[in-house]
Structure 1
Amino acid sequence: MFDARDRQNTAGSLGFGLAVAGLVAGLFFTILQFPSLTGAGKFPVKGSAETEAVSSGVIEATFSDEATLDYTEKLRRTFPAAASDLEREIRRAVDRGANEVELGLIVLQAGTPEIASSLDRLSKADVDYPNRIIDLTSSQLNALNRSGAPYCMGDDLMMFAGLSQQELYRAVFDRVGHGAGLYEYALAINGILLDAIHDARLHPVLHSRLGAPDQGALQQLGFALMTNPQLVQLLTTEGKSRSEMDAVLAETNFCELGTKLISQLDTLPDTTKGRLWGEALRQIESGRWRYTLYRYTGY
């Protein structure tokens, strides 16, 4: 047993809000659908809330940390078939002598296809869930920044660009595998999404479309973000030489920048945040988010 401790005034402001929300949501769901890091990969059969989840006890016998046990319990409740698949996968991995890193990655991948295919359900989740994601992410970025971990600085992130696929996998293992600092955070984010899906099945919230009441709040958000010195510096390097762009990226503390951006996002009224959340997820589900982002921002 072991402990396994991202034009016009009205159109422009609404579009900027969509871009922010779409970027955040898009990062989450790009990560969720990342190919298997442990081989050919296997996506569990989609579960049903009505299917009875029967635990074989293999998770409890293999893991002792609260983060893993809490996540797998939420998975049993929300997608029982995926939880059963996870238990079978863990049993096979233990039998072949898989190490702690691989076992942790198997847990991280469990349920992610089901989450990614539940965007419509997630778009009807209460605003409490995106608020929980915002709070957790802000706390994690602050903790990483204080710790001096390498994840925050641009020069560390730039390292990924030159890696081969095998080297990239190893770098990911170092950051999100068992014992790595991001393991519990990744499980917690997926756990919040499972909670949101489960709650939205029982108590769906039909967020209205973004409209005039959101305009002022989004204009203020856009102004605050676009006057952030670090963000302005990053944006103004576009089109410059590669060496100039790399120099700016290398010196950027993305944990610090991310904390500031998230704190600004958190100032939005809950009603606006709920509508942004719902709209961003609807755009991603429909496949129109790239068009919407281009339409409002030109990118």
Structure 2
Amino acid sequence: MKKIGVLTSGGDSPGMNAAVRAVVRKAIYHNIEVYGIYQGYSGLMSGQIKKLELGSVGDIIHRGGTKLYTARSEEFKTVEGQKKGIEQLKKVGIEGLVVIGGDGSYRGAQKLTEHGFPCVGVPGTIDNDIPGTDFTIGFDTALNTVIDAIDKIRDTATSHERTYVIEVMGRHAGDIALWAGLAGGAETILIPEVDYDMDEVLQRLKRGHERGKKHSIIIVAEGVGSGVEFGKKIEEATQLETRVSVLGHIQRGGSPTAFDRVLASRLGARAVELLLEGKGGRAVGIQKNELVDHDILEVLNQPHKIDENMYLLSQELSI
């Protein structure tokens, strides 16, 4: 293999740049030419491909977002779109592709592999919802962003003796809510993977208020419902002054943590090694601090699971 490509797709996450840097420099170290595909699969189909040198990825390891930009593409979900992308890769002579992104990006990589073009997936998403890896690139940074917000909001909640509902990202996965809620000492954590009882939430607030508790923090993953609506229900049912903060896309930005930079560097480099070994249709990850790789189709067919023991612990500690 003499030429490989790299692209980022789907939602951006802090650490993607570090992964791109690792792919480029690992490949060049092994005398392989590297080409960046800009704007994800959309850019792949339109031929937005540019050769990357060592200097192309200088001073990006500390930057959030992605130097290669990202986009979502409905057309690439079709066989015609996939073949159009492969034609563009063949024009440049690219023989393998590293895809950095979430499950949608993985599906694109799997389809290209099925068409005979080897791809390796690198898990880049703040949601931490990719099976086959303990952590995804960007999760740690997003988590720390949320924790910082919780700490600041708690100061205000304490000062004004209010209940605060904080809505965090996580349409289908509750990892951000669960980890941030546990680390931030939230009284209640609501996630998509676990059914909740609104009466139980209200009773917990009332019990706390009766024993003299002046403020509470409730973390709601967006996949559970609107934080604003939860705030209204709580205030109406308890008569406790309630405020809502929706953190939104602030969770996606910012300089990646040291953990995410190291994780991205390790996973990006391993993806290149797999391509050089002639392996496509793989997804890299980290489990028990060891680098692993799995069949990408196997990863896609596994459901995301939360750490149930951690969820139980969060309930026990918030009595």
Q: TM-score, normalised by structure 2?
A: 0.27
Compare the two structures and name the one with the higher helix fraction.
1
Q: Work out which of the two has the higher radius of gyration on C-alpha atoms and give 1 or 2.
A: 2
Q: TM-score, normalised by structure 1?
A: 0.28
Compare the two structures and name the one with the higher strand fraction.
2
Tell which has more relative contact order, 1 or 2 (C-alpha 8 A, sep 6+): 1
